[in-house]
Structure 1
């Protein structure tokens, strides 16, 4: 079996990201100008990769982040299983340690291994883990797709990485993320290996481009 290459990215910046406002599966925000710039830079770097298919969540910020590839006519599928975790009553609110000790307490609870506990009105990491399984099964059932691009969301991406790399869910925060960061994974038929970890080199604008502006 040939190696399956998975390019896994988080969506570009939104105004919610910029303002430290929680956005989960219930907030269908769009990219801001910086997020669009990030998407353009990623496209410029990877537009020549022969992707067999593009997978996204059903949320706009995810789809907009790979629009350049979709404009090339690449096959595209949306999967709700890739949507961000539902943050319940915290969605659309600005979170700081001082303003919401409960939110940060839940994150601590999850890191201690209690990943089946739902945030108030929302999901638990375990629920997200379970809804991601059908996507993983589908992805692995298509050996003809040797190179794929997957765009999703921060917390959900951490959970997916735990699942693909066989880490306990309590370790999900070990996987750092930034807007439009890249994880490159290779699948050999039995296991995934990380080739790029939270890579953002593509977001560094070449010096010659800066001089021209």
Structure 2
């Protein structure tokens, strides 16, 4: 149960209109290190640094009053919260939190051609052409549609303080449509492996970022 602790307040359950969401990106994988695209189609595990990042996050936040832990359906998010699971949490997988599908470039090395295609796609999105996507991949709207299902589920539950493990581009998309009400400019939401966004949500006001891309728990790594 949430109590007064770092902004997580205890409330009458019947009148609960607020939530705290601690949204993290998964720890590093070898493919992250090599710059190889993973997306939702490459289900890689954390590497040694990624596991150390997960341990560092757990040590910093193990006493936070989390009531529920959510992950995507991919191994790298589930491994990121493994210490919480070992401490007694039963994480819930929500496929709506999965990384965007990058289609034909998933698993590919960062060649000059692939980098140029990626930059062209980002520029199209920044210019407002949100329908652009890789062959076999997802559009931004398709990601938003499944994320809305996941977020609606989280907000409908009684827990007031939750940990959510997801992915870099998926985080940018989520913060874009949910917090800013637009996907244009979503790249302002910087991130790195195991960085944290803290979100206050009120049913009558919506979400607000209160901590932006926090990496302080990783300072000793």
Common fold: TM-score over 0.5:
yes
1:132 aligns with 2:139: no
Q: Which residue of 1 aligns with 2:171?
A: 157
SS of the aligned residue for 1:145 comes to coil
1:108 to 109, 112, 123: 123
Aligned equivalents of 2:165, 2:155: Cα separation in 1? 17
Aligned equivalents of 1:24, 1:36: Cα separation in 2? 20
> How far did residue 123 of structure 1 move?
0.8
Deviations 1:192-213 (A, max 9, x none): 111110000000129xxxxxxx
SS of the aligned residue for 1:170 comes to coil
The alignment yields a C-alpha RMSD, in angstroms, of: 1.4
Cα 1:199/1:118, change in 2 over 3 Å: same
1:145 to 159, 163, 176: 159
Q: Which residue of 2 aligns with 1:19?
A: 34
> How far did residue 75 of structure 1 move?
3.1
> How far did residue 122 of structure 1 move?
0.6
Find runs of 4+ consecutive structure 1 residues off by over 4 angstroms.
Answer: 96-99
2:200 to 165, 176, 186: 186
Aligned equivalents of 2:78, 2:183: Cα separation in 1? 26
SS of the aligned residue for 2:121 comes to helix
Deviations 1:59-103 (A, max 9, x none): 000000011111111132101111100011100112254554222
1:60 to 70, 75, 81: 75
Aligned equivalents of 2:188, 2:24: Cα separation in 1? 16
Aligned equivalents of 2:186, 2:44: Cα separation in 1? 24
Please, what TM-score do these two structures have when normalized by structure 2?
Answer: 0.89
Deviations 1:163-199 (A, max 9, x none): 2203311221110010000000011223111111000
Q: Which residue of 1 aligns with 2:4?
A: none
- Contact conserved, 1:43 with 1:68, CA < 8 A, in 2? yes
In structure 2, stretches of 5+ residues that fail to align are 1-15
Of residues 91-100 and 56-65 in structure 1, the stretch that sits farther from structure 2 once superposed is 91-100
1:204 aligns with 2:219: yes
